[in-house]
Amino acid sequence: MHSGRIALVTGATQGIGAAIAARLASEGAIVGVNGPVRDARMDVVVTAVDGFPAVADVSDPDAVAAMVGEIERTRGPVDILVCNAAYMTMAPLIEHDDDDWWKIIDTNLAGTVYLIQAVLAGMRDRGGGNIVIMSSEWGVIGWPNATAYSASKAGLIALTKSVGRELAPEGITVNAIAPGVIDTPQLQVDADDAGTSLEQMHEQYRRSIPLGRIGKPEEIAAAVSLLARADMGAFVGQTIQINGGATRCRT
């Protein structure tokens, strides 16, 4: 399905990102596994997906440009960009440290802009490309003590709509996915905020979801695979919500 295409997946060393890397690789893509540092965790994913390391802190525009530049020089333009890297902490708005609050915005929202800007010239050279942006259920419905995270993820939905409109005429699709509660290490942040254990957090979420369970990273990766296809050009600026029926909202 993605045979021979070059994919860059940010935040791919764990959780949803690692599942996306595995899914795209299993369908033939050559996957760049991004994380902020080269470490053992990254090497494990790189080996597992037979891909290549792609190191950059996505909140640093120069580092992003350098990473994409190196991919283009050594392998060619990026065909599939999956903007999945995210940073999250939770705190009541007036208690949330200023620098930490902005780090969430700068990583999740600004970082995605930097990535799109970095791959754009290469996609234009190729005559097309597919960009998938990871938003969140909290970007749709909001969440207490998550003002920065929700703002960043809602911003990504609007960014997807705008850049989707802007780039569709050039054969570059931009779409988003808004996962609900998925079984990833990030849930520990939720549990800490709620002052409860990870197990209790799972149980609490499970009860609130109509389908009666939390989601799996592979279930998000399946939607990425659909939106990353080169023959799905009718998908423009859309956000797919995958949350076990938790919201049923229009994005």
Residues near another protein (CB under 8 A): 161, 164-166, 168-169, 180, 210-213, 215-216, 219, 222-223, 226, 229, 231-238, 240-245, 247-248, 250
Q: How far is the CB of 244 from another protein (least distance, A)?
A: 5
Three-state SS for 240? strand
Q: How far apart are alpha carbons 221 and 27 in whole angstroms? A: 12
In this complex, which beta carbon is closest to another protein, that of residue 169 or of residue 195? Answer: 169
Which tokens is 187 given?
A: 């849930």
Nearer to another protein, 150 or 243 (CB): 243
* 32 contacts 20 by C-beta, under 8 angstroms: no
48 vs 211 by CB, closer to another protein:
211
Find the catalytic residue in 87, 114, 149, 205.
149
| Shortest Cβ 88–another protein spacing (Å) | 20
Tell me the C-alpha distance between 90 and 55, whole Å. Answer: 26
Inter-axis angle of helices 15-26 and 217-227, to 10 degrees?
A: 50
Q: Rounded CA gap, 204 and 149, in Å?
A: 21
Nearer to another protein, 168 or 189 (CB): 168
Q: How far is the CB of 234 from another protein (least distance, A)?
A: 4
130 near 227, Cβ under 8 Å? Answer: yes
Q: Give me the least distance between CB of 158 and another protein, in Å please.
A: 10
For the question of residue 149 being annotated catalytic, the response is: yes
Please identify every residue annotated as catalytic: 149
